[in-house]
Each structure stands twice: as structure tokens, then as C-alpha cells.
Amino acid sequence: MQKRLQDIAALVGGELVGAGDLMITGVSGIKEAKEGDITFLANPKYLPLLDTTKASAVLVGKDISFPAKPVIRVANPSLAFSRVIELIGPEKIAYPSGVHPSAVIGKGVTLGKDVSIQPHVVIEEGAMVGDRTVLCAGCYVGHFSLIGADTLIYPNVVVRERTLIGSRVIIHSGTVIGSDGFGFTMIDGKHVKIPQIGIVVIEDDVEIGANVTVDRARFDRTVIKRGTKIDNLVQIAHNVIIGEHSILVAQSGVAGSTELGKYVTLAAQAGLVGHLKVGDGAIIAAQAGVTKDIEPRGMVVGAPAVDHMKFKRNVANVNRLPKLIDRVAALEKKLEEPRK
């Protein structure tokens, strides 16, 4: 789809600087863009790329000028670019409504209006699927699970029994929701399994990446609250509670019965032991190993994790050690010299 630059500026509510009749034919990143594309600049560290990008126009922040190329100034270039993609980017995949003949639907299953049940989906007895929800090829929905409206579940996702999933949820391929929690006790020298009879609750507007595991509770519920976004390869153990609008980045893990507040950020490969409380707005840095509760809006780094300011001081002190060692050696040498 082609659009004039002035029409794009009107769409995003931006200030156009340059030729409004320029035709835009595609969207791309600032490094990959070619002539005819529009791109965006959100991070100041990429400013030098304005001189080299082949894009025909750029969405930029309100404080940026670039006379060599048409720009549209907006408050949030990244958000504006998302709207442009919806306008002139590739068309969204359309999933036809209806139930594919190869799908297996159990007794007492309730399907909402305009659902799309793709090839080789299995929906077990007593499950419910809400209006306009899409279950892509090879998905499994266990007994008595409930999935809300306008939810998209990509191929080969497993939703185990009695799981509750809200509306407008997105779950990517390979994820398992409701697997047994890792619960065993040692009896007579053997690990004996403890039954995991709780459920998983995923609230509205959650997105879960590929190959994520969310364990069912031993009792009661494992809960991912509304608006939370989870990256690929994340492990969430039994009875964990993830607060609203939190972010969990790739390869992070949360052990059993730990509770995260609202707007928590858990960076890549961070790990939390069980039975902790993490306050609202806390930030846990990449590869941090958290063993203690974190206060609201706290920021921790390292393993074991400590306050980020303390971590910086520790690193600075370690970097001073070579000079300190040389100084101590010089003092020792001086003390060993015979007195005159």
C-alpha cells in the first residue's frame, strides 16, 4: 500500500518537515531501510544513522531536525511507527472462522461466535473457548479449561486442564500452561511426587512468548495478572503471582510462591528464589540472583543481588585493587628497609 507522507503525518498527529507529496511504499528499520521506506529514530545513540539511512523519510522526536531528509516530528516515534506499520505494512494473517475437520472436540465443549479452530487442535471435555478466539494448528486445550474472547494461541501450545485464560491474550508456540509444579519429598531415599492440584490463571491482555512454562499451583492458583508481557524461555513456578503490567525477559525464572508486584521488570537470565516478595515498580537487572525481598521501586544487580548503587561502589572498589596492592607492596618494601 502506498501513502503520501502528509497523510502519514496526519495519521500519527505529527509535524511534517519536508515534501508532503512524497510517496511512501514500505516500512523498515533505520539500518535496513531502502528508498521509498519510512523508518523511525527513537534512541539518541542511533542519531549518526540519519546520515547513512536510505529511507525516504524518518519519524523522529520533537527536538530533532534533519534538513537532508523529510521528517515527521512526534512525541513517541516508536509508537507512531507502530501505527504506520498497521497502515502500510504487510497485511495481517486472517484465520478463517470455523472448526477444521481434523480437529478433535470433546463432549460438552462450548465454542463462542466466529472462533477459528485450526487443523489437529484437540479440545477436551468441558472446555470453553470465547468469541473470535483463534487456536492455531496442533494446540491442545485440556479438560474444563476456559479461554476468553479475542485470544490468539499460536501452533503447538499446550493448555493443561482447568486453566483459566482471559481475553485478548497472545500465547506463542511451544509454551506450556499448567504443567505440574516441581514438587517432591524425600521418603526412604526416594523422591516421591507431591500432587499439584491447583490451577493457572492468566488475566486479560497478557502476552506470553515461545517455549515458556507456567506451572500450576500445588494448591490454589498460579496467577499472571493483566497486561503482563513475558518473553521467550521464561520459567514461572507453582503458586507464583505476577502483578499487573510486569515485564519478564528471556531466560528469567521465578521459583515457587514468590510474588511480584505491579510494573516489575525482570531482565534476562535473572532468577528469584522461592517465597519472596518483590515490590511494585522494582527492577531486577540481567543475571541477578535474588535471595531477599525487594522494596517497591528498588533496583538490584548481581548474584547475590544487592542495591544497584552498592553494586556500583563494589565494582569501583574492585577496580581500585591493583593500585592498592601496588601501594601496600611499596609500603612493605619501605618498612623492610634498614633504618638509617
**Catalytic sites, residue numbers:** 238
Specify whether the backbone of 239 is left (phi greater than 0), alpha (psi in -120 to 50) or beta.
left
Give the closest residue to 157 by CA, choosing from 203, 210, 118: 210
DSSP state of 337: S
Angle at 77 between CA 74 and CA 80, to 5 degrees: 85
Preceding peptide of 304 cis, ω within 30°: yes
Give the closest residue to 171 by CA, choosing from 92, 229, 125: 229
Angle at 245 between CA 239 and CA 249, to 5 degrees: 75
Q: Which three cell numbers stand for residue 240?
A: 507464583
Give the closest residue to 332 by CA, choosing from 324, 204, 47: 324
Rounded CA separation 338/220 (Å): 76
